[in-house]
A and B are shown apart, each in its own frame.
Chain A
Amino acid sequence: MTVTLTKTQIDELGRELDELKMRVIDDLGQDDLDYIYKVIKAQRGLEIGGRASLYLGFLPPFWLLGTAALGLSKILDNMEIGHNVMHGQYDWTRDPALNSKRFEWDTACPSDQWRHSHNYMHHTFTNIIDKDRDIGYGILRMDESQKWNPYYLGNPAWAFMLMTFFQYGVALHDLETENVISGKRKMSENKELLAGIRRKVGRQTLKDYVLFPALTGPLFLSTLAANATANLIRNVWAYSIIFCGHFPSGVATFTKEETENESRGEWYIRQMMGSANITGGKLFHILSGNLSHQIEHHLFPDIPARRYPQIAPEVRAICEKYGLPYNSGRFSRQIGSTWAKIFRLALPNRDSAERPPAVTVVDDALVAA
């Protein structure tokens, strides 16, 4: 579908969203700090409780409990805490433990590389073909406009592997391997990045696969398996939530030409049309790092995520006012539609990849006439 808007409407929309953001920023305070510390406390509690349970890992209920608690701890650490803190959502608190440049998360990817590939590249160039490397992450075909080749017959298999080993996929993302293969990037440019990845993966591996298993003595293998399962739980969950953010059907992509000299309003429209929300309860939103409000997150990546559910009705109303889609659905629908796309795009396009632009901007004069 194509949305037609005048320049005046787009500027007005930009102003309305700027005002909404200012209102949230003016309201930030102790509650936001208390909230994130409550989540941190829950995460650290789950982590310690989970690791402690594994000392009784020879009893199956304790193994399951410990594994689940550790998995939940990693999910909270990576999503509601890590992802959001590294976006600068809590930089205003001036708390070094909540500082976007200093925070390090419990996953294989070094935080500085994540901030580059995600905060800068993905959030600035969201859903622009050939600029946003998050469209398929350089290994999948997630948009009709990506040229098909036989490698993509494996699209579902590659996606399944990415889901299983998601933390390592994320860790390697900033290396831009696809550009190294195509000759656009030199391997030597990756030297420092690789050293950073080795260091981080080394520490994570030592912790999860050597030290904690060793500390449980004869239960070494049982604890190792539990830690690997906890990492797997986090991998599958994070992959699924993230894929629901931009790949369900109805989400728009944009071309470089369409997005040249974008106004602030147009940037906002691209963020909204290029993202999709997931409906759910409060706990679901927290475990998704509030990325279930991907639309609000992409409009304002730097405001504390607990604010997204609060502003969602207003954002939705703005979308309705300007006739913009507000893509929102149950988890099962969004993830189902994402996997359907993964399978569909394994094969060449059936119709022409030509599609109308998502937004058409017209002169005010034309509408008035």
Chain B
Amino acid sequence: MTALLPARSAKSSNKSRRISPLGLFEALATPHGVDRYLELVNPMLTVRELRAEVTAVYRSTADSVTLTLRPTRQWKGFEAGQFVNVTVVIDGVRRTRCYSPSCSQHRADGQIEITIKKHPEGIVSNYLHANAAPGLVVQLSQADGVFKLPTARPERLLLISGGSGITPVLSMLRTLADEGHRGEVVFLHYTNTAADVALRAEVEKLAGGNVRVEFVHTESGDSALTGFFGASHLEAVAPWVAEAQTYLCGPLALMRSVREHFDHAGLTDRLHLEEFQPAPVIVDDGTPTGTIAFGETTATNSGETLLEQAENAGLTPEFGCRMGICFSCTQIKTSGCTRNIRTGELNSDPDTEIQLCINVPVGDVSIEL
């Protein structure tokens, strides 16, 4: 559910401005823009920005929280399996995470549902778990991602998930149900124990007829199928897997073993997956490691500041004071961890702005240049 760096679909962002009646208001509101005025009256009243209001909060397990969100009118909808970025303000700082909606893409009221699992170190998941309440307004992105069902729905489908990876495949299951899909669908979900299954009741509601739901509790073992994923599980629930399309989302270990099985069986092209995992633990012992990507140019991390490394790689990024005060060299770090040499602060959030002159890479880092 918290896919950190999912594959983005190759949509071209079309930002060309059209002349509209809004033009006059924008000209009057220059230089700030209309939304900057409207948000002071009501944050859900926007002209350009996409936001969403939490309308319901539901906790189906001890460590997860399910939010129903009502997006502003800019929302273009999503396809089952895709993800959205949700941004919340925590102690003054905006934090963005991606979540796959778990509801049907055909949901009648146009609202979306996301489920957030609490991670011990997760700033956003802990915050939302403790504080999310109806009325909270968050920033939302349009849906993105290539993990989705083909428009011509496959006849037979196997949906495999583990832990919080349930959300995108549950969305697929719910979407198929709304479409009156007649083909066979198997929903195979792995958790440690029965108590860990988020949205269990919601999934069970859909079982029956052509839909088979199978929960596997790998730790407690009190389920029909036991143990980790293996060929026997597939034979038991989907012996027809070679003629089906399989959609998979879950922790790395599950993904790896499913992928290996499909590769061996020669079914690689029938397996579609969404990788997700919590942010990797950062080890910063001061020894420079990793590769730095400045756009197309790459360099081996020398331990110097990103500005120096970019210049040594033959690039000429904008800079000013070279001491962290003027913000001329600010660029977007798309991925990786950096350390601020003035404050010692580590930053491993993707798509955040950093000052090149006072940040050193810790491991692999990608900078938009």
Contact = CB atoms under 8 A, between A and B. Distances in A.
A104 interface: yes
Interface string B30-67: 11100011001000000000000000000000000000
Contacts of A34: 92
A212 B92 CA distance: 35
Given A33-B89, A93-B92, A123-B321, A87 B40 contact: no
Interface string B1-44: 00000000000000000000000100110111000110010000
Contact of B40 (A41, A116, A215): A41
B93 A93 contact: yes
Contacts of A41: 40
A306 interface: no
Contacts of B321: 119-120, 123-124
Nearest to B345: A25
A354 interface: no
Contacts, number: 100
Given A22-B343, A95-B94, A204-B30, A124 B327 contact: no
A211 B327 contact: no
A97 B94 contact: no
Contacts of A215: 28
A94 B343 CA distance: 17
A91 B352 CA distance: 10
A121 B93 CA distance: 29
A33 B343 CA distance: 20
Main SS class of interface, A? helix
Task: Assign chain A's interface to a size class.
Answer: 35 or more
A188 interface: no
Interface string B82-103: 0000000101111100000000
B323 interface: yes
Interface string A75-105: 0000000000001100111110101110011
B349 to A, nearest CB: 8
B362 to A, nearest CB: 19
Among the interface residues B30, B94, B324, B326, which one has the most CB atoms of the partner chain A within 10 A? B326
Given A41-B40, A95-B94, A99-B353, A119 B320 contact: yes
Contacts of B94: 93-95
Contact of A87 (B30, B320, B327, B342): B327
Contact of A119 (B24, B32, B326): B326
Contacts of A31: 92
13 contacts: A30-B91, A31-B92, A44-B40, A92-B92, A94-B94, A94-B95, A95-B94, A106-B32, A115-B327, A116-B328, A200-B31, A204-B30, A207-B27
Given A119-B327, A204-B31, 11 more contacts: A40-B36, A88-B330, A93-B94, A94-B93, A94-B353, A104-B32, A120-B328, A203-B30, A206-B27, A211-B24, A211-B28
Interface of A: 18, 22, 25, 28-34, 40-41, 44-45, 48, 87-88, 91-95, 97, 99-101, 104-106, 115-116, 119-121, 123-124, 200, 203-204, 206-207, 211-212, 215, 267, 301-302
